[in-house]
Each structure stands twice: as C-alpha cells, then as structure tokens.
Amino acid sequence: MTIDKILAQATADALKALYGADIPAEKINPQTTRKEFEGNLTIMVFPFLKASGKAPEATAAEIGDYLAANCAAVEKYNVVKGFLNISVSPDFWAGVLADIAATPDYGFTAATPDSPLVMIEYSSPNTNKPLHLGHVRNNLLGFSLARIMQACGYRVVKTNIVNDRGIHICKSMLAWQKWGNGETPESTGKKGDHLIGDYYVLFDKHYRGEVAELMAKGLSEDDAKAQAPLMLEAREMLRRWEAGDPEVRQLWQTMNQWVYDGFDQTYRRLGVDFDKIYYESQTYLEGKAKVLEGLEKGLFYRKDDGSVWADLTDAGLDHKILLRSDGTSVYMTQDIGTAKLRYQDYPIDRMIYVVGNEQNYHFQVLSLLLDRLGFKWGKDLIHFSYGMVELPEGKMKSREGTVVDADDLMDAMNATARAMSDERNALADLPAEERDQVLETIGLGALKYFLLKVDPRKNMVFDPKESIDFNGNTGPFLQYTYARIRSILRKAGQETVPPAGVAPNDKEITLIQLLADFPSTVADAGHNYSPALVANYAYELAKNFNQYYHDYSILREQDDATRAMRLSLARTVADVLRRAVSLLGMEMPERM
C-alpha cells in the first residue's frame, strides 16, 4: 500500500475514533506538502469540521495526535491553519524504497480480459504529401497516450484513418501524369511520400499561375479558382475515380502504395505503430449508407437540391451537411462510416480521437450524430484536442512546400546530437554503429520530450536547438541522468543492490517520495489525457537526483551500509526514470 493510501486509511480511522464519522479512505487525498512548510504530506481538514464541531486548528491537532500515536509511518506533524502537515519517519521511507525496488513494473497496472477497451485514433495523414511536424506531434501524443492508458490497466487498440481519396489526392495524381515523365521512388531515389508531395506542390504552383492569368482577364478570384483548367481536370479525375474508372483507380493504387511505403519508414523511425489501419476509400461508402439509413428513420432531412442535412439546433448547434447534392460524402460522412466499422470490429468502451483543436466543432457534431445513430459510446467519445505546433519562423503551409518534413526534422535532430556530442568529445570510444544508435536515440529523445512536455491543449513553438540542450528541461538531460546512474552502477561492479537498513537523509527522502508519487502520476496522466504530466514528473525526478548527486557521494561513501542504500536509491531512480520516459516513447542510452 502506498504512503498516501496508508495515511488516508489512518485518517479515516482517526475520524471514526475521534468523532464517530464514517468517511471512506477513498475520499481522503493527502497531497505533497508545499516546499515552504515542514512535512512530506498534507491533509486538508476543512471537510471534517462538521464531524468534529471544532475549529480547523483544533481538528487538525487532534487528528495529528491520533496519527502520531497509532500510525507507524508518522514521525511528527505540524498544523498551519486547516492544514495538517505530516512528516513520515525515515525508517518508513527506507521501507518504501525497498518495496519500490522489489516491485516489477512498478507504477504500471496490468490489464485483464475484463478491463475496459479504449480505442485511440491518431496520425490520420493524407496520401498527397509526407508527414510533417504537425503530424509528428499528433503521432507522439497518440502513441504516448496509448502507452499511458495501457499503464493504467486499460486494454488499448491503436488505430489510424488514412485519408486516401478526394480532390487533394487527385491533384498529386494529375500533376504526376502531366509532368512526372514516369518517375518512381526507385528511379529518383526518393521516398514515395516525398515524391508525391513534390507533385502536390507542383500542382499548386501551376494552378496559382492559371488563377492569376484568369484574374488578369477580368474574372473574380472565386470564379478564376473554379474555372482554372487544372482544377477542372482534377475534379473530372475525382469523378472518374468515384465511378470506378480502371485507369484512374490503377494510378491511384500505385501512387498511394508509394506513399504508404514512405509512411511506414517514417513511423518505424519515429517509433510509433498501429494495431488497425482504416482507409477513407473503404469507409466513406459505409458512412453514406448510415446517413441514408438515418434519413429513412427521420433523423436527417433532404433539401430540394438533393443534399442531406442534420438539424442540430436543439443542441445549440446549426445545420450540418452530410451528403452533397451530387451524392458525394463529406468528412463527417467518412467519420460516421469509420465509427460503424470500428464498432463492428471491436467492443469499444471508450473512443479517443487525437486531432488538433481546429476540429473542435467537428467532434461536437460527430458525437451528437453517432449518438443519434445508436452508437452507445457516441455521446461519450473523447476528442483529445491539442494545440498547433509552429517553428520560431512561423506557420507551415503544405501547398507551398514550406512545411517541416518529419524525415528532414529527424535527420536534423540526429545531426544536432552528433554536433553536440563532438563538441563534448563524448562517445568517441564507442564503435561507429553503437555511436550512431546512441546519437539517434538522443536526437529522437530530444524531439519527443520537447513536443510532449507541453500541456497538449496549448499551442507551442518547437525550437530544435533548445530541445537538445543537455541542461534544463530537455530529453537529453533526462537521458544523461540515466546514463550517469548506469555508469555509477557499472563502476560499483553490480547491477542490482539489495536495500540496506539505513535511514535516509532529507534529500534521499525527497527522492523516495518522488519515486512513491510515480503510480499516482501515471494515473493522473491517464485520467487527464496528458503525457505532459509524465514528462514533467520525469524532469523533477532527474533534477532532484542530480542535485542529490552533487551534494552526496555514492561510490566514495565509506560506510558500506550507506553506500549500499545509495546505490539502491540510484538504481531505483534510473528504473523509474526509464519507465516514465517509456510512456513518452523515449529510449534511454546506457552511455552518453
């Protein structure tokens, strides 16, 4: 039982003994004592005043006296107004460290066959361009959330919906037909997603030229965009695709496969994966059928032009189009179809969509529509809404080719890690292959941590140079701390050290208390859908260990029992640090 649960139960016992109050221990939540006050854990007594019938200070003192007399964990206490600050005995903290060190998978809860099933959707790329920085944040958030939910004891299915149809796909296809000269990934040496992305940019370049020419002839901008020959050709290609034209479909399959192969390389390097991938080309017809079913049931209505709409005004929203007048689907239709297939494939208890905050309204509408269509989890679907990521130079635009490509970004992070390693003259004694692997681990660790340490709801600016600094709140700082501890253990000549019966000092207690906080941190991260809570916990743990290591010797400690305890503490810090960052998709190098 963790220290907070021990104190919660002891406080519940105190309330029963002192005041005859039956307050469940689950309702009592000790919190870490603020740094300016003495103590380890604090209990707020205001909720107990009705039972005690006394002033806050008197109530806190009576509960404190009871705990000091009846709970072995409590060494002493102090009262600040209505707050009971409890100091836990050093001997008890030594036992906490021993328990943590001896607990496999400490902080993680294993799922059972009866655990709730959570499906998490992330990535959701278009097959007309490579993944970019925005996709990187999306993938890292989704993958990290999946690991956190698994660590909280849920069964998890990681899923991806690939947007592989539509006018944007036809733009790349048309440009390749016109100017590709039969290029392939093999003939050019380019990843397939990069090659297709080049043609998407090329289409936009020629299209903007056509629009400018038409506007110069007197057309309005809207008319020029609608009447530009390239756009008309792209729309005709989409019509042929919808009609199942063999030539268009064959080209579509070929070019999409190039993109999928490119995506797979990027996913592998980024360290993310999926249990099930859905494709819009396979789900949009399911969505159309579901919408028409809803129309027959009177859930939706048809306008005079043949389009199908949902009236959501009773929910404080507006009218939402579900099928265009020509019968073609919109994104909402595809999401309905995807939901139907997912519900058929899996007994989903909770559905989480990892999608940027520009789609907040979309998911409000989707939730209402799924509920009306009979999906039991529709009303409770969760839109994990996150902010946009930009560079110090500003926003990215994929049509203009100004996005930060995910592959280029990872290359740049690797190069920066290499430059900083060379500057520090580190890793020079490692074999080239091992050195390359360590540098990749550092570069990707810097990228992942920087993008995940920020509250996901906030917009953020990604600064590659800042992210790879070996000092401060960065991934490499955490990795360096871990590598430092592993070096200490190697020099000690033992990988595992049994805890010794030595009472820890104040700074050691601070570290043990942080270790004891890990399970609740994981639970909070799962409850709040926030990898940032885990990231910042890992930073606090690493920062406190480095301060401790600066103040106290480990290997040079002369007392054998104290040395053994400190080695055990260091090893346990390393283990928990590694487990924490694993929830962020990060790896820890043994050497740096």
Superfamily designation of domain 3-88: Arginyl tRNA synthetase N-terminal domain (3.30.1360.70)
Residues of the chain with CATH 3.30.1360.70: 3-88
**Which segments of the chain belong to CATH 3.40.50.620?**
117-390
Please list, in sequence order, all residues whose beta carbon lies within 8 angstroms of the beta carbon of residue 23, skipping any fewer than 6 positions away.
12, 15, 16, 47, 48, 51
- What is the number of residues in the chain? 592
- Tens digit of each residue's pLDDT, the chain (592 residues): 788 899 999 999 999 999 999 999 999 999 999 989 999 999 999 999 999 999 999 999 999 999 999 999 999 999 999 999 999 999 999 999 999 999 999 999 999 999 999 999 999 999 999 999 999 999 999 999 999 999 999 999 999 999 999 999 999 999 999 999 999 999 999 999 999 999 999 999 999 999 999 999 999 999 999 999 999 999 999 999 989 999 999 999 999 999 999 999 999 999 999 999 999 999 989 999 999 999 999 999 999 999 999 999 999 999 999 998 988 888 899 999 999 999 999 999 999 999 999 999 999 999 999 999 988 888 889 999 999 888 776 554 444 445 689 999 999 999 989 988 888 777 888 899 999 999 999 999 999 999 999 999 999 998 888 888 888 899 999 999 999 999 999 999 865 556 667 899 999 999 999 999 999 999 999 999 999 999 999 999 999 999 999 999 999 999 989 999 999 999 999 999 999 999 999 999 998 8
Number of Cβ within a 10 Å radius of residue 564: 19
Select from 98, 7, 11 the least CA-distant residue to 60.
11
Domain with CATH 1.10.730.10 in the chain: 406-582
- For residues 111 and 109, what is the distance between their CA atoms, to the nearest angstrom? 6
Cα separation of the two ends of the chain: 36
| 230 Cα distance to chain centroid | 40
Give per-residue burial for 474-488: e unless 16+ CB within 10 Å, then b: bbbbbbbbbbbbbeb
Outline where 109-245 has alpha helix (H). 133-151, 167-179, 185-188, 192-216, 221-227, 229-242
CATH 1.10.730.10 fits 406-582, yes or no: yes
Domain 117-390 class in CATH: alpha beta
What is the rounded distance in angstroms from the CA atom of residue 336 to the CA atom of residue 567? 55
- Look up residue 529 and give its two tokens: 């859908």
- 295 vs 300: CA distance, rounded Å: 5
- Yes or no: say if 127 and 164 are a contact pair by the CB < 8 Å rule: yes
| DSSP run (H or E) holding 10 | helix 3-19
Q: Are 355 and 124 in contact (CB under 8 A)?
A: yes
Q: Are residues 127 and 162 in contact, defined by beta-carbon separation less than 8 angstroms?
A: yes
> What is the DSSP pairing of strand 41-44 with strand 31-32?
antiparallel
Burial class (CB in 10 A: 0-12, 13-18, 19+), 427: buried
The H-or-E segment that residue 93 falls in is helix 90-101
